[in-house]
Structure 1
Amino acid sequence: MVGMSYFNSEKPKPRFSRWGIVSLLALALAGLSFLPSGYVIERPGQVFNVMGEIDGKQVISSSDLESYPSESRFDITTVSLLGNREANPNWIQVLAAWADPDQLVLPIDTVFPPNLSTEEVRAESTLQMEVSQQDAIAVALKQMGYQVPRSLYVNSVIEDTPASKKLIAGDFVVSAQGFAITTFEELKATIQATGDSELLLGLVRDGIERQITITPAKQGDSFVIGAMLGYTYDFPASVLLQLGDVGGPSGGLMFTLGILDSFTPDSLAGNNHVAGTGTISSDGQVGPIGGIKLKVIAAKDAGATVFLAPSQNCEELLGHVPSGLSVAIVRDLEDALIVLDQVAAGTKLPELKCTN
């Protein structure tokens, strides 16, 4: 019997079918959707008109000052944040954000420092907003001609730090290393100069003067004592600011302008819609903030035609200003008021240009 071989004329089937490849891709994507990324995502956030109301209450009010109607609108711009240390965005969300020019992907450590919990970061953000509001009230009242005395005080103390069990919330700090201090900058400079040696602080607690010693600790490139300080003011008139659950110090400039516009007769910006951002110091200096490119998008989407930006953020905005929005760079309150005079007069603002 002759042996015979039989061959199948059909082509061999691929080991993996098309559906198998699709299934593998689906499984890979599903895995990415559950895998923490180590990043957070920033997006344009809400916009708040400080001349308006929130939950039926005026954002800016006073029981002591006469208020005036205004045609101007002043918006505080914010950035929304997706993710925190306990719940990162997944890789699909991160990849989508990287492809979207209206979103910003950041390493989580840049927003939530490893040495702080999410709750501590949020508490610090809330404190920064409270301090910025107090500074805004003080600057506005001084601009209106009032005298506003201030004192440096301890707002809170972080556990397990050099200041823990030595400083308490409400302490007034009046001296450091035997020299009188009146500003946070003076205290910070003294802490850095002291390094890891003993720091002698003069306090007033419950009306009684006392002295304590604290040894600062190294944190990164600087020394810290572990206390959050701010200014408490003796305001000659009561001004109440209500903005709900918004944190950070970046609303300082716009709060200041809103207060001035609320309690002075003229509309500072005429009938124009002005948005902006920037911290405000007790002497009226406007400081830099984060997320500026996202904030101009939020401002434009809300209908603003003018945006006030800190001078230190100028370079970030070059080439990123939405069409139809004029950006004015300001260094301090005086600069901002000059810009508003031009806006109210209908003067066209110049193209964005950064100078040293």
Structure 2
Amino acid sequence: MSVPLQDPRGPHEPASPAPRRALRMQRTLVAAASVAVVLGFVALALPSPFIVESPGPAINTVGVVDGEPVIKVTGRESFQPEGRLDLTTVYVRGGADRRIPSFQVLQGWAHPTQDVYPEESVYPRGTTDEQISDQNASLMDNSQQTSVAAALGSLDIAFGQRLQVAELAAATNEDVLAAGDVLKRIEGRSITDLEMLRGALQAAGEEPVALDIERDGEDLSVEAATTASPEGQRQLGVFLQTEFTFPFDVEFTLQNVGGPSAGLMFSLGIVDTLTPGELTGGRHVAGTGTIDPEGRIGPIGGIAQKLVGAREAGAEVFLAPADNCADVAGRIPDGLSVVSVATLDAARSAVEAVAEGADPDTLPAC
């Protein structure tokens, strides 16, 4: 005789489906979270259309790099200063063919000494790494030439210069001027520099101007039309470049640095190299700024990062373009005095004052 087996716990209902549903929901949430985490990591690794600027090294323009003076003069007596006149640099990550992952952009936003910009605010769309490199090399070469001209002008050393058509910018004089033309005279007056040419064009108003030019070694006289720029300046519709003839050679041995912003510090370095004694008086000075042949200092990008790089290298005084003063507000590192300068002569005077013991904070400041 058989007896039905009974559960010793007594009668009970079948297990409820609720725990099973909860378990399935928990597994689903874990799977979704895992997918979200994976997608997040993938998103952070994707290339980003931003660039990140961070402090770069400071380089002494009157110093020696890899056994060679940064500025080398031949054909005239020169000196090897012992002071520090540092040009400053910025590391730029991203843009063109080298887009950086998004996590580096997030790090840049979070870092107090780095700045993040949309790629197209710095490089035109479609620009390649090769084009950027070529442009920076060209800007550096031009900066070196204008820095020599500015330094020689400050030292009252004569040199030659002439304006040459680099390329046509508009159709205004496409049948009159060509790339390579040297502009020698306007209305019978010798063209000494760009400012002189601009003044003569402005004085002529809407009337055509008589130009004496040199083309392929031949002298020609032409009549050129002008148009007005949005600012009202009369112009020939060409891009111009300046050819210099210096009485001695100035060689720059610095490699792998591009752009125009070292002009001011190169000029000061040349002045120091061509004159006996120490321009800095042993003080550590850094700075930045473009420069033109007349010694006018122009604004640059990345000045906040350059301030940090200068201070990390030990600089006490920083020469900043006057037009960049708004950009340094709230970004000046402790222990660094920032002096506002608009011309090479003003920068030279500031360095000489500091060398003689002046408190940098008593000089024009940003």
> Please, what TM-score do these two structures have when normalized by structure 1?
0.82
Corresponding residue for residue 8 of structure 2: none
Corresponding residue for residue 106 of structure 2: 95
Corresponding residue SS for 2:361: coil
The one of 265, 278, 298 aligned to 1:254? 265
Unaligned runs of 5+ in 2: 1-12
Corresponding residue for residue 205 of structure 1: 215
CA 1:223–1:116: 2 relative to 1, 3 Å: farther
CA 1:191–1:87: 2 relative to 1, 3 Å: farther
AA in 2 matched with 1:44: P
- Percent of residue pairs bearing the same amino acid type: 35
Alignment partners' CA distance in 2, 1:268 and 1:354: 20
CA 1:288–1:260: 2 relative to 1, 3 Å: same
CA 1:69–1:157: 2 relative to 1, 3 Å: same
Corresponding residue SS for 1:140: helix
Q: Is 1:319 equivalent to 2:296 in the alignment?
A: no
Alignment partners' CA distance in 2, 1:179 and 1:114: 43
Tell me, yes or no, if the aligned pair for 2:70 and 2:252 is still in contact at 8 Å: yes
1:1-356 map, 5 Å: 6-8=15-17, 10=19, 12-13=22-23, 14-15=25-26, 16-18=28-30, 20-34=32-46, 36-114=47-125, 117-154=128-165, 156-157=166-167, 167-168=178-179, 170-174=180-184, 181-184=191-194, 203-210=213-220, 211=222, 229-350=240-361
| Superimposed CA distance per residue, residues 13-61 of structure 1 (whole angstroms, 9 cap, x where no aligned partner) | 2343446513421222213312x32221111123211112233221111
| Superimposed CA distance per residue, residues 282-311 of structure 1 (whole angstroms, 9 cap, x where no aligned partner) | 111111111111110111111111111011
Corresponding residue SS for 1:350: helix
Corresponding residue SS for 1:67: coil
Alignment partners' CA distance in 1, 2:193 and 2:155: 22
CA 1:189–1:93: 2 relative to 1, 3 Å: farther
Tell me, yes or no, if the aligned pair for 2:43 and 2:102 is still in contact at 8 Å: no
Corresponding residue for residue 3 of structure 2: none
AA in 2 matched with 1:113: P
Tell me, yes or no, if the aligned pair for 2:280 and 2:351 is still in contact at 8 Å: yes
AA in 2 matched with 1:88: R
Tell me, yes or no, if the aligned pair for 2:137 and 2:258 is still in contact at 8 Å: yes
Alignment partners' CA distance in 2, 1:189 and 1:122: 35
AA in 2 matched with 1:73: R
Q: In angstroms, what is the RMSD of aligned CA positions? A: 3.7
Q: Which moved more, 1:261-270 or 1:49-58?
A: 49-58
CA 1:202–1:335: 2 relative to 1, 3 Å: same
CA 1:69–1:99: 2 relative to 1, 3 Å: same
The alpha carbon displacement at 1:179 in A equals 8.4
AA in 2 matched with 1:265: P
| Superimposed CA distance per residue, residues 200-254 of structure 1 (whole angstroms, 9 cap, x where no aligned partner) | 97532232134597999x99xx999996532112212222122212221111110
What is the number of residues matched between the two proteins? 345
- Give the number of the structure whose alpha-carbon radius of gyration is greater: 2
The alpha carbon displacement at 1:186 in A equals 6.5
Corresponding residue SS for 1:138: helix
